Every structure is written in structure tokens, then in C-alpha cells.
Amino acid sequence: MNTITSKRFVVRKSLLNTNTNITFTTKKGKEITYSHDKVFSIMKDTLTKLPCWLKYKSYTASNNIPMVLRDKELV
């Protein structure tokens, strides 16, 4: 299991199927840990259509996790 500490929520194509957990701290100071692969599977349909994903193969959010992931088991 790989673990990454980040300053923001991130999903990257290069991290798919790498069994990686990512921990980041929101602007309000809440620490969130999530499984990259689990998050990608939940967001896949929307994520793969976003311009940032099509161009950079990456999605980031600096303030919090996306609404679709809130109140879900992410690890």
C-alpha cells in the first residue's frame, strides 16, 4: 500500500491501480484520507468527461472533496 500526503484532493490517471491512499487537509483543517482507486471508481463517469481529465489526466480540488464523495466510505 502506497501512501501520499497532499495539499489538495487529487485523482490522477498515473495513480490508477497502484493501491494508493492519499491524505490531505482541507482549508478548514479537517484531515481526509481516501483510496485513490475507490474514489476513481465512484467518480469515473463524470471525471472522464471533464476537460481537465481529457487534457491533463488529472483532477484536483483545493478546498474540499467533491460532493459526490461526501458521507461515503473512501478507504
Kindly tell me if the per-residue pLDDT of 9 is higher than 90: yes
The whole-chain average pLDDT of the chain stands at: 95
Specify whether the CB–CB gap between 40 and 16 falls below 8 A.
yes
Dig out the grid coordinates for 20 from the structure.
494508493
Per-residue confidence (pLDDT) for residue 46, from 0 to 100? 95
At a CB cut-off of 8 Å and minimum separation 6, what does 44 contact? none
Cell of 40: 476513481
pLDDT of residue 1: 85
The whole-angstrom separation of Cα 57 and Cα 29 is 27
